[in-house]
Structure 1
Amino acid sequence: MSTLSATAALPANIKDINGGDPTIAAAASAKASSISTLDQGDFLRLLTVQLQQQDPLAPVDNKDMLAQIAQFSALAGSAETNATLTDISTKLDALIEAQRAAIPAKS
């Protein structure tokens, strides 16, 4: 009786599964990029659909709902902080370059 190795029979990655088809690769990449750009509007749409689809006799636990909202609020705060820090960094870089230009070069 012979045994088969599960890893030996599996393709190394998704490109191998798709046979290198550029159409499938482009669609997968577009889907992946759209997933990474979810915003508050997307969250509110998901929340609305979740509320519409829940069973009225067994509603979602309030603790779970509050946890989701708190996590999204924390994420939104982090994104705003990152944007502010990027803006500050850009302004500091410009200030440093202006100071370098103002200092006469030593010969």
Structure 2
Amino acid sequence: MRPEQFDRLFHALADPYRRSMVERLSRGPATVSELAEPIAIALPSALKHLRVLEDGGIVLSEKAGRVRTYRMRPDALRTVARWISQREAAMNKAFDRLVQAMTDTPEEDE
């Protein structure tokens, strides 16, 4: 993933309203009204948030008549999970090196 795409993904997840929408969409597709109602925002505001989620590669939308329905991209959060896993692996290696250094270093008598 290119850095600017990665930045858009994290930006999209940075807002509590958008995270609430992602939470709802993780359970299945929903209309704009269904996503706006529980967080008590106007439909134009909801659409702006959904555009950010779409630009971030998290959701897809389709329009049937006058109704726009959103759903999660199947691989939407895989990139985030992979990035976190890589950071965890790096931290674990650093801690392993620290433990090894402490084991290799003899204790000094006071």
TM-score, with normalisation over the residues of structure 1?
0.41
Query: Which structure has more RCO (C-alpha within 8 Å, separation ≥ 6)?
Result: 2
- Higher helix share goes to which structure? 1
Larger Rg: 1
- Higher strand share goes to which structure? 2
TM-score, with normalisation over the residues of structure 2?
0.40
